[in-house]
Amino acid sequence: MLWETFLLAQRAIRRNVLRSFLTILGIVIGVAAMILMVTLGSGATAKVTSEISKLGSNMLHVRPGQDTREPGGARTSADAFDISDVTSIQNSIAGLAGVAPVAQTSRQAIQGSANWSTTMTSSTNTYLIVQGYRLAEGRNFTDTELKAGKAVCMLGQTVRSELFGSASPIGKSIRLKSIALQVIGTLAEKGLSNFGSDQDDLVIIPLRTLQRRLAGNTDVDTILISAAEGVSTDTTKADIERLMHERRGIQAGQEDDFHVRDMKEIIDTVTGTTTDLTTLLSAVAAVNLLVGGIGIMNIMMVSVTERTRGIGTRLAIGALERDVMLQFLVEAVVLAACGGMIGIAAGLGASVAGAYLIGVPFVFKPGIVLTAFLFSGFVGVAFGYYPARKAAQPNPIEALRYD
């Protein structure tokens, strides 16, 4: 009985293919849009997470001042760190893969007639480890160069290209403000970060070179800390906070004049944001399914009117009301299911193309495909019920007289 009803529904749908397709177009668009939004959103989340993880998901950033901004836009100030803070962290906290003191400033790098505005980063060799840089050419700083603050540097690929073109810069000099720096190494290319900054646009010099020759102080802007594999960053963060409370004389109840940022927190924040945005866009796309359902209800009402005499004939020769109702309900579900399947194909195709165009990985989500298809079937039942019920209610005599 159900199979025969299904065949009747197919026959009725094929009787006017164009009208049937236009009827399900809202379902097709809704399902395709939902799959597209979720797939691209998942791809974007995966890309952002991957990019941030490259910076070190086990990394902690320790900076002076609170991690908030005042109404005027300036970060709350506090005394800077110095190298003794770095040494204390290295000696007092277990489970660390590396600790790198960092001080940065913007400078104009000059070589001959070429010049380039770049970021000058002063640190130690550990900076390369915690930030994931590799040498492309040359060497690291020696202990003597680090302790004495020698005028040497390593170049990122962007700076190397802007100042030296394709030539090797090793052994040559560049000028930053008032000092000439000998190039001892170049870094392998890292490209753009997920936030759009050029990770190769930097010059790295020894920390003491900046402190003694340019800044005239012993300040450390940031301490980068990489936890060892398998060590909880939450535990490490708590240990660092306790140590800094002691070193900076912060009593219980007093506000911290430093902050420790865990890269995991950034990953969780970004992932949560992209997930919320994807959910919102998917909900908007789902509205198309409701619009498609209204289209199905509308065309089914028209179909009931057009087939009134046929319904009367079926009722007159002994068909039960539930048989007529089932026929129209199955038609609505078949229409919605066809729209769902076409929408799935269109959505997956658009997702593959979209992921390629915007440069994110294609992340197949079977759950959203199944959800979209089931939702389309539910729309068919929900919006097909009233027309089906209406089709089963006419008086057979009146239906046969209908013109």
Q: pLDDT for 49-77, tens place per residue?
A: 776 666 555 788 888 887 654 434 445 56
DSSP state of 126: H
Q: pLDDT for 356-378, tens place per residue?
A: 888 888 888 888 888 888 877 78
pTM of the model: 0.61
Q: Do the Cβ atoms of 154 and 206 come closer than 8 Å?
A: no
| CA distance to 217, 231, 339, per residue, from 296 (Å) | 75, 57, 11
226 phi/psi in degrees, rounded to 5? -110, 120
Per-residue pLDDT band for 158 (boundaries 50, 70, 90) equals very high
For position 64, what pLDDT does the model report?
Answer: 87
| Chain mean position to CA 337 | 32
CB atoms within 10 A of CB 272: 11
Segment 299-317 shows an average pLDDT of 64
Q: pLDDT for 275-302, tens place per residue?
A: 777 777 777 777 777 777 777 777 777 6
For position 137, what pLDDT does the model report?
Answer: 92
Q: Do the Cβ atoms of 89 and 241 come closer than 8 Å?
A: no
Helix (H, G, I), strand (E, B) or coil at 294: helix
- Strands, E assignment, 188-280: 202-206, 222-227, 258-262
Q: Is the pLDDT of residue 185 over 90?
A: yes
Helix (H, G, I), strand (E, B) or coil at 205: strand
CB atoms within 10 A of CB 319: 15
Q: pLDDT for 210-266, tens place per residue?
A: 888 887 788 888 999 888 887 888 888 889 989 988 888 888 778 888 888 887 766
Q: Is the pLDDT of residue 153 over 60?
A: yes
262 phi/psi in degrees, rounded to 5? -90, 130
Q: Do the Cβ atoms of 354 and 40 come closer than 8 Å?
A: yes
Question: How many percent of the chain have pLDDT more than 90?
Answer: 20
